[in-house]
Amino acid sequence: MSNGKSLKLWTVNVISIIIFVILCSTGLINWLVLPRGYEARGNFLVSLRHFFIALHEWVGLIFIVLIAIHIALHWPYIKSNLKKYGIMK
Ligand code: HEM
């Protein structure tokens, strides 16, 4: 693998893990910690919840794009394995 490609993969992977941690924390905090609906009325935590939902959704979108780039960068390897195991001609 060329140096340029390795650097791209490394960068995509490092950003992906950071983004994955943000996704896990915003998803789990919203689900398990922050109050919902009536419980949260008049409370600043409801704004935090809305902020986390928006963050989770946008970061989720970025994560999908990063995974697509990750797969594209590994495409020659994936293709050679698909051929090796007879899944692709
Ligand atoms: C591509 C990645 C992801 C996308 C596109 C995505 C998208 C979403 C969306 C649209 C919701 C609903 C938010 C709402 O209430 O409007 C949600 C909820 C949730 N997500 Fe994710 N998510 C992703 C990854 C993750 C990961 C990695 C975790 C790991 C723990 C996670 C945990 C959760 C949890 C626990 C909820 C429920 C929150 C609640 O009930 O309040 N998500 N996600």
Q: What is the mean pLDDT of each run of 10 residues along the chain (89 residues)?
A: 90 98 98 87 86 98 98 97 94
Is 24's C-beta closer than 6 angstroms to any atom of ligand 1? yes
Distance 73 CA to ligand 1 centre (A): 26
At residue 16, the pLDDT reads: 98
Distance 42 CA to ligand 1 centre (A): 25
At residue 60, the pLDDT reads: 98
Q: Dihedral of CA 58/60/61/63: which sign?
A: positive
Q: What is the Cα–Cα distance from 18 to 29, expressed in whole angstroms?
A: 17
Q: Report pTM.
A: 0.89
